[in-house]
Amino acid sequence: MPEKTIREMSEQERKRHSLASRVFHSTIIGSIILGITALLIGLGMFSYSLVDQYISEGFSLSENALHILERTVDIEPLSEAVMQEYRALRAADENTAYDQERFSSFAEREDYRTICSVMSEYLNFDQVEFVYLAMYDENTSSMVYIADPDDSEEHMMPGEWESVSKEGMQRFLNWDGTGRLYEIDKTEKYGWLCTTGVPFRGSDGEIKAFVLTDVSLANVVNGMKSFFWQYTAGVFLIMNLFGYLLIQRMKKTLVGPINAISQAAQDYVKDRREGNDVEDHFSSLNIKTGDEIENLSLVMSDMERDLAEHEEDLTRVTAEKERINTELSLANRIQTDMLPNIYPAFPEYPEFDIYAYSKPAREVGGDFYDYFLIDQDHLCMVMADVSGKGIPAALFMMASKIILSNNAMMNIRPSEILKNTNDLICSNNREEMFVTVWLGILEISTGKITAANAGHEYPAVMHENGRFGLIRDKHGFVIGGVSGLEYSDYEIDMKPGSKLFLYTDGVTEAADAASELFGTDRMLDALNSEPDADAMKLIKNIHDSISGFCGDTEQSDDITMLCLEYKGKEEMRDESEPHRQK
Amino acid sequence: MLNINKSTDGSKLTVALEGRLDTNTSPDLETSLQESMDGITELVLDLEKLDYISSAGLRVLLAAHKIMSKQGSMKVIHVNTTVMEIFEITGFLDILTVE
């Protein structure tokens, strides 16, 4: 599936792409992880400090009780007596049960009652479950009750015992007097209990009993539970508040501006497509976040301005090009119309037929042909090629054509026409341009051509023998090169049926894809393929031959051709073609 | 394509041309010659490897010829038959010093 563009997305799909909700989600997840960590640490610290406090209280309570007891009564005899009786009972059989009869006498003793009454005072303290006097018996790993002031159902008689862990017992018995002596256990009856103890040493320095205080840790557990719920509720509340504020802030500083830029970009594209001329999509945003987003909006605004400028330039350049193209095509029409191009050219003269063709390589060219009557009996023909191509050549061609025809109308010889033209052009030719010219004047009545050649291609002539051949005529220098040059005339005697073919180097130097030139041989072959054809057909044959030779290769030079077919006067035709019946 | 190889020997500049000197390449030769013709009294154009010369190329030769006729001399050497024929047709043979 190809990705959808933002324009194709529904509102819901866009929401999924919302930066705000993504940040919200990640903030919530982060907060939860952070909250749980803080909760665990908090719970640990809370319970540790509470338990520590309870231990301290229990321990000092035990110390206190012992202190009072020591002042009030001698514990040693009772403890010794109970332990002796206990050992005696357990010595026979470890698994023997408690014998109430055997120990009941201890409860009657005066010292027992005093001890109980002192210790019972301590039962009223908060969290204190039990305060009692007991001793450990190492042999049976048991704690033996000596005096328990509790008068509830849980009351323990002297000599009653409970099994204890060996490690706990050893810790109590071997206590060095530093720190606090305590043990935390989970009991089935009372839940979590913390037992703190202070040993009582007899006259021989041996431990005779422990004052033990049991403190219930139920409050700690309950406290932890309520702490957990309060904490969770608090964190949840803060998290939501924080998340909400964060989203509001994000919307203001991040999402809002980004959406504005994105909307501006969409509007920009839309307006561009619909051709609306709005130029301040981005520059009117006015985003002042002072961060990358503001930079982005500035960059976009710059881009919009640059694009607008670029477009303006492009429009101007295009308009300029358009104008130049229009002018060029106009120039092309003017140039084309400057050359005689209505056929038949001289329908009133049956003595000859003339046809010419010119195709510039660009819009305008430097080649030109011309033919015009100087008087009733003289036809002037010009074939010329200006150096270079395009507009410079075209301008030079126009000037050359007019100067040549003006001179020709003065009824002077071709060599003089060329000389006058050359001198005039050379007098003001800073660009060193030149033009090759073949100029000939046909005496219509006799068929005699007087011609002069200023650096132009050899003309091709077909005489009665029926084949075209080049005339290696006397060449002068090109016109426009060096002033003061002389040109010489020569004559071509045209018989009825003779044909003259003039051309520019665009014909002989037309190149194919491999840069091979068309050449004069191919040109003559094309002419001689159908030498009896009329002027127009001959030129068409050459044109087709060049097209076939060059293929798709672009025409690189102007191509210009002129063909004169001399038919002579009617009586001359009779002379030259005696076989034809009048 | 046209390769222009210039070598200077004092005030003598020899320019060997290789390829085609036509409308597209003649501006290169014109610029190249303009750059190095200051103080040159003898300009030699070696056309041995020049395959083709168009009227635009002839124009550059004519311009060079005119400049050199004021400040010294110019000659064209090793002209091959193709180029020679063009020189003949255009009458350049009568104007240029060809050896």
For the domain that residue B15 is a member of, what is the CATH number?
3.30.750.24
**Which residues share a beta bridge with A355?**
A563
| Bond before A344 cis per omega within 30 degrees | yes
Whole-angstrom Cα distance, residue A38 to residue A286?
43
Helix (H/G/I), strand (E/B), else coil: A373: strand
Cα B20 versus chain centre, distance: 12
pLDDT at A2: 53
pLDDT at A580: 39
pLDDT at A537 over 90: yes
pLDDT at A556 over 90: no
CB A501 within 8 A of CB A561: yes
Q: How many CB atoms lie within 10 A of CB A169?
A: 18
Residue by residue, DSSP assigns A82-131 as HHHHHHHHHHH-TTPPP-HHHHGGGGGSHHHHHHHHHHHGGGGSTTEEEE
CATH number of the domain located at residue range(s) A62-219 in this protein: 3.30.450.20
Domain that holds residue B29: 2-95
Question: pLDDT tier at A189 (50, 70, 90 boundaries)?
Answer: confident
pLDDT at A6: 62
> Tokens 């060219």 map to which residue?
A365
Every domain of chain A and the residues it spans:
62-219, 270-338, 345-576
Contact list in B for residue A481 (CB cut-off 8 A) is 62, 95
Mutate to test the interface with A, among B24, B90, B96 (most CBs of A within 10 A): B90
Q: Return the residue of A nearest to B26 by Cα.
A: A388
* pLDDT tens profile B43-79: 999 999 998 888 888 989 998 998 898 889 999 999 9
Q: Which of A432, A476, A482 comes nearest B59 by C-beta?
A: A432
Question: pLDDT tier at A572 (50, 70, 90 boundaries)?
Answer: low
**Which residues share a beta bridge with B2?**
B19
* Average pLDDT, integer, range A401-405: 95
* Average pLDDT, integer, range A413-418: 96
Q: Return the residue of A nearest to B24 by Cα.
A: A388
DSSP classification of residue A357: E
A303 CB-near residues (< 8 Å, 6+ apart)? A282
Q: What Cα–Cα distance (Å) separates residue A95 from each residue in A90, A92, A98, A142, A161?
A: 7, 9, 9, 12, 12
pLDDT at A17: 65
DSSP classification of residue A318: H
Q: Which of B56, B63, B90 comes nearest A455 by C-beta?
A: B90
pLDDT at A439: 97
Q: Which of A385, A454, A476 comes nearest B55 by C-beta?
A: A385
The overall average pLDDT reported for chain A is: 87
Question: To the nearest 10°, the Cα dihedral for A382, A386, A389, A390?
Answer: -70
A389/B23 Cβ within 8 A: yes
A455/B92 Cβ within 8 A: yes
DSSP classification of residue A142: E
- Judged by average pLDDT, the poorest of A288-302, A306-320, A377-391, B33-47 is A288-302
Whole-angstrom Cα distance, residue A311 to residue A174?
97
pLDDT at A364: 84
CB B79 within 8 A of CB B16: no
DSSP classification of residue A511: B
Token representation of residue B63: 């311009």
Q: Residue A562's closest CA among A370, A406, A401, A372?
A: A370
* pLDDT tens profile A88-97: 888 877 777 8
Question: pLDDT tier at A490 (50, 70, 90 boundaries)?
Answer: very high
Q: Return the residue of A nearest to B85 by Cα.
A: A457
pLDDT at A435: 94
A436/B62 Cβ within 8 A: no
Question: pLDDT tier at A431 (50, 70, 90 boundaries)?
Answer: confident
The domain tally of chain B equals 1
Token representation of residue A272: 């561009």
> Tokens 């540790």 map to which residue?
A48
Token representation of residue A184: 């935390």
* pLDDT tens profile A213-242: 888 888 778 878 888 888 888 888 888 888
Q: Which of B22, B59, B92 comes nearest A433 by C-beta?
A: B59
pLDDT at A336 over 80: yes
Q: Residue A143's closest CA among A178, A92, A183, A177?
A: A183
Q: Return the residue of A nearest to B60 by Cα.
A: A432
Question: pLDDT tier at A581 (50, 70, 90 boundaries)?
Answer: very low
pLDDT at A400: 94
pLDDT at A516: 86
pLDDT at A354: 96
pLDDT at A25: 81
pLDDT at A318: 94
Question: pLDDT tier at A406 (50, 70, 90 boundaries)?
Answer: very high
**What is the pairing mode between strands A490-493 and A128-137?**
unpaired
Whole-angstrom Cα distance, residue A211 to residue A61?
9
* pLDDT tens profile A346-376: 999 999 999 999 998 888 888 999 999 999 9
pLDDT at A464 over 80: no
* pLDDT tens profile A17-50: 677 777 778 877 887 888 888 888 888 888 888 8
pLDDT at A465 over 80: no
- Judged by average pLDDT, the poorest of A54-63, A215-224, A429-438, A459-468 is A215-224
- Give me the interface pTM, i.e. the ipTM: 0.86
Q: Residue A557's closest CA among B20, B96, B83?
A: B20
CB A132 within 8 A of CB A156: yes
Helix (H/G/I), strand (E/B), else coil: A431: coil
Contact list in A for residue B22 (CB cut-off 8 A) is 556
Query: What does the angle CA A491 – CA A494 – CA A496 come to, to the nearest 5 degrees?
Result: 170
Mutate to test the interface with A, among B22, B89, B92 (most CBs of A within 10 A): B89
- Judged by average pLDDT, the poorest of A93-102, A190-199, A335-344, A441-450 is A93-102
Task: Please give the sequence-ordered ranges of beta strands (E in DSSP) within A416-518, or none if there are none.
Answer: 435-443, 448-454, 460-462, 468-470, 475-476, 490-493, 499-503
**Which residues share a beta bridge with B75?**
B44
**What is the pairing mode between strands A352-359 and A207-216?**
unpaired
CB B17 within 8 A of CB B6: no
Token representation of residue A290: 């002072």
* pLDDT tens profile A240-295: 888 888 888 887 888 888 888 888 888 888 888 888 777 788 888 888 888 888 88
CB pairs under 8 A between A and B: 62
Q: How many CB atoms lie within 10 A of CB B5?
A: 11
CATH number of the domain located at residue range(s) A345-576 in this protein: 3.60.40.10
Alpha helices by DSSP H, listed for A383-413, are 390-408
Contact list in A for residue B92 (CB cut-off 8 A) is 455, 477-478
